[in-house]
Amino acid sequence: MQPADDDGFGAHWWLLGDDLRTFYASGYVGQRIYLVPPLDLIVVRNGKTPVDRAPHIAAMAREIIDCFRNA
């Protein structure tokens, strides 16, 4: 299923569409793996979220990634 917040797709990975070239794998009911190459960061979300709340997952990931920008 294509995530509602998609900005691009290729080889089973999605682009988050941020300035850090973040990409992620999208799994069942909101599970995600985010990779942020410039920050050498991996964020894993192993939660269960109803489909109508899916946009909140990307927002949460962006907030977490922003915490590491100046670390």
| 39 within domain boundaries | yes
Give pLDDT tens digits for 2-15: 555 545 666 678 89
> Does some domain include residue 47?
yes
Report the domain count for the chain: 1
pTM to 2 decimals? 0.79
Is residue 15 situated within a structural domain? yes
Q: What is the pLDDT of residues 3-52, one digit of tens each?
A: 555 456 666 788 988 999 999 998 888 899 999 999 999 999 998 988 88
31 within 8 A of 46, measured Cβ to Cβ? yes
4 domain residue, yes or no: no
Q: Is residue 3 part of a domain?
A: no
Instruction: Decide if 24 is inside a domain.
Output: yes
Which contacts of 33-38 are long-range, i.e. CB under 8 A and separated by 24 or more positions?
Answer: 34/61, 34/65, 36/65, 36/68
Contact 2, 54 (CB under 8 A): no
Residue 46 lies in domain: 9-67
